[in-house]
Structure 1
Amino acid sequence: MVRALLVILLGGAVLITGCGSPLPVRGIVKIGVVAPLAGRHYATGYDVLFAVKLAVQQWNAKGGVAGYRIELVAYDDHNEAEAGATQAKKLVSDTDVLGVIGHLSNPSALAAAPEYHKGEMAVIFLGATADELTQKAYPEVFQLGAGDAFIAQEAARFAARTLWSRSVAVLSESSPSAIDLARAFEGAAAKMGMNVAQSESLEAGRTEYGELIKRLRETSPDLIFYSGSFVQGASLLTETSKVGKQMLFLGGPFCASPDFLKIGGPMAEGAYYISLAPDPRQLESAGEFMASYRDLSGREA
């Protein structure tokens, strides 16, 4: 997916050349990556970084684009607004940077979008699902996945019409992106006739769920909808088995990771999560990419 997006950005370089706009005189164009490269979400950030790095290597092996070698510039935004805006300004100020991929969280992307707009720099947001990103209609801004409203609508439809859930506990990590999706799901679930029996935001990194388990026993929902990181999601999935009632589990997009299944172990059997893109492990056409990614990163895609 990222490989295809890189083609779009670099294809823009060819178009710019045709229009007579100047390209860097050193024979280099840069692609920026902004992602969480430290802290709780670093694993997701490095997933993106390695994928873009692989695409850059493959293009350079073909001679680059229009004779220009591609270089990768990566910055850590901590998934936070202030850092997101700061890194966007750095990239906009670098005249060799052609475009940017990344900003996985809503706060980072929302803070960065005006900077890219002012600098007239193309950016493709990965992971950020805030509907405002495209509502602003900045011509430089592209959003890879669906927005919160659509994700919530389809998740609620699946919960009500496929899983036949009538009541739901909506739980989220305490990050702004996770809370935004959780609130959107609550509204969509209500429209589908589901009873939102419980709604809670959980502190990031929390591992003790005794009080939550008590409340789940009281509300007795058919389904838990969880919005947040795969680490907390897998931990929560394991702990909620102590409720004493079999409940379905539907995780948000950040649970769409092989690590969610590894951490969840046997408890992950029968759980569901939302994926904004096809799982490459289930695509025959992705075999070469999977092998190349593993060789570069030392881990599975």
Structure 2
Amino acid sequence: MDARARLAGKALVGFTEGLIHMLPALLLSLSLLGCTLPRSTPPIVKIGMIAPFEGLYRPDGYAALYAVKLALRERNAAGGVAGYGVMLVALNDDGDPKEAALQARKLAVDPDVVGVIGPLSRSTAAAAAPALAEAGLAWIAPVSVPDEVVREYANAFRLFASDQTLAEAVVRWAMTTPGGNGRVRVVEDGPFAAPLRAAAERLGVLELAPQDEPTPTRVALALGGDPEQVAEILPSLDRTVYQGPIIGGPEAAHMVVLQRAGPAAMGLVWVTSLRVVVWPDAFVHGYRELASGPPGPEAALAYDAANVLLDAIAWDIRQNGSPTRAGVMAAVNATHWDGLNGSFAFDVDGSWIRAPVYLYQVIGGERFGPVP
């Protein structure tokens, strides 16, 4: 071996030994800089959200958004869902059915989105349903969704009682309350008018509106409109003519109604699956950190919806190795979650099994007053 070869060999050995000695320092520097080896970065799965973040129903969207964000924050802090980090893609629908359908199509084209929370009203849920179904995206709505929607679409799930159950509960109350005279007249406009009419017919108490000029009558008046419709109807009612109780569906006592109708909303009895309790301190504290205010019943139900979806994603990953839209949809049906509002499981139509039903009365500007 000549001198040049011996010199090259020594240089190579010296360079290798230097790297070995420098390796701990290099790794320490990488860790201090926040760099990690590729295997330590968890894979990401996305969930979508369709809600109103602008416009008239903006408070609804943000109440739900903070609750969903809290659920994701807790899961990610605990290691994610079966080793996956979770990212939220929240899209604004302005509370408008056309926008809800558009946002559903936007979520559909992102392959990493495997499930959706929302939409947050009966009309937007019905509008978004076809696009979400075409994409095979399971969606969980923490609001009232029309019976025909959850029956038609296998990927639709609601954390709410059925239309039939809700309508019968409030009509039965109207039948027996003083002043209703055992009869119910349904105002035909609105997305919940058909369930109210069907319930009154089944129970044999439906009263048809007279063809001539109305005369003073003591029957219960049922309002099946959305918040804007109810807010328009209530102030226009002549209480010297309509002397009986006024009842409404799950959207009848929305804050929009109270703000627009004012004193005309007093005494309205409405039906819902929203629960009014003292929530656990951990949930209230976590929500306040994000929202700078306390959670309401809608936020608590949105938090439960997010956790049901997260559990379904985790179940799918553990069963199949990675999340897919089809796997998550199947997993929602198999998931049981004990949440803030009770135990959650779904029947074959995607409805919450044994969903609670509550009646409340608008009293002094408050939606959740006790019913006499």
TM-score normalised to the size of structure 1? 0.68
Query: Could you say which residue in structure 2 is the equivalent of 1:194?
Result: 205
Question: Quick one: higher RCO (CA 8 Å, sep 6+), 1 or 2?
Answer: 2
Distance in 2, Cα, partners of 1:167 & 1:219: 14
Query: Could you say which residue in structure 1 is the equivalent of 2:307?
Result: none
Query: Would you say how many aligned residue pairs link Structure 1 and Structure 2?
Result: 253
Distance in 1, Cα, partners of 2:293 & 2:208: 40
Do 2:169 and 2:271's aligned partners in 1 also have CA atoms closer than 8 Å?
no
After TM superposition, the structure 1 = structure 2 runs for residues 119-130 of structure 1, keeping only pairs within 5 Å, are 119-130=135-146
Query: Could you say which residue in structure 2 is the equivalent of 1:66?
Result: 82
Following superposition, the deviation at residue 128 of structure 1 comes to: 4.4
Question: CA RMSD for the aligned pairs?
Answer: 3.4
2:249 aligned with 1:252: yes
Q: Which residue identity does 2:157 align to in structure 1?
A: F
Distance 1:164 1:238, change over 3 A: same
After TM superposition, the structure 1 = structure 2 runs for residues 96-175 of structure 1, keeping only pairs within 5 Å, are 96-138=112-154, 140-162=155-177, 165=180, 166-171=182-187
Distance in 2, Cα, partners of 1:246 & 1:90: 49
Query: Could you say which residue in structure 1 is the equivalent of 2:327?
Result: none
Query: Could you say which residue in structure 2 is the equivalent of 1:277?
Result: 274
Following superposition, the deviation at residue 239 of structure 1 comes to: 6.2
Query: Could you say which residue in structure 1 is the equivalent of 2:283?
Result: 289
Distance in 2, Cα, partners of 1:112 & 1:137: 11
Identity %: 33
Q: Any gaps of 5 or more consecutive residues in structure 2?
A: 1-40, 297-372
Deviations 1:203-254 (A, max 9, x none): xxxxxxxxxxxx7x63524323223455764675566585376532323212
Do 1:50 and 1:293's aligned partners in 2 also have CA atoms closer than 8 Å?
yes
Distance 1:135 1:231, change over 3 A: closer
| Structure with bigger gyration radius | 2
Distance in 2, Cα, partners of 1:38 & 1:70: 25
Distance in 2, Cα, partners of 1:291 & 1:247: 43
Deviations 1:136-184 (A, max 9, x none): 252x221222332332222222221356723334347x6xxxx231122
Q: Any gaps of 5 or more consecutive residues in structure 1?
A: 1-24, 200-214
Q: Which residue identity does 2:284 align to in structure 1?
A: M
Following superposition, the deviation at residue 73 of structure 1 comes to: 1.0
Distance in 2, Cα, partners of 1:118 & 1:244: 49
Distance in 2, Cα, partners of 1:58 & 1:236: 43
Among residues 178, 194, 197, which one is paired with 1:183 in the alignment? 194
After TM superposition, the structure 1 = structure 2 runs for residues 27-66 of structure 1, keeping only pairs within 5 Å, are 27-66=43-82
Do 1:168 and 1:221's aligned partners in 2 also have CA atoms closer than 8 Å?
no
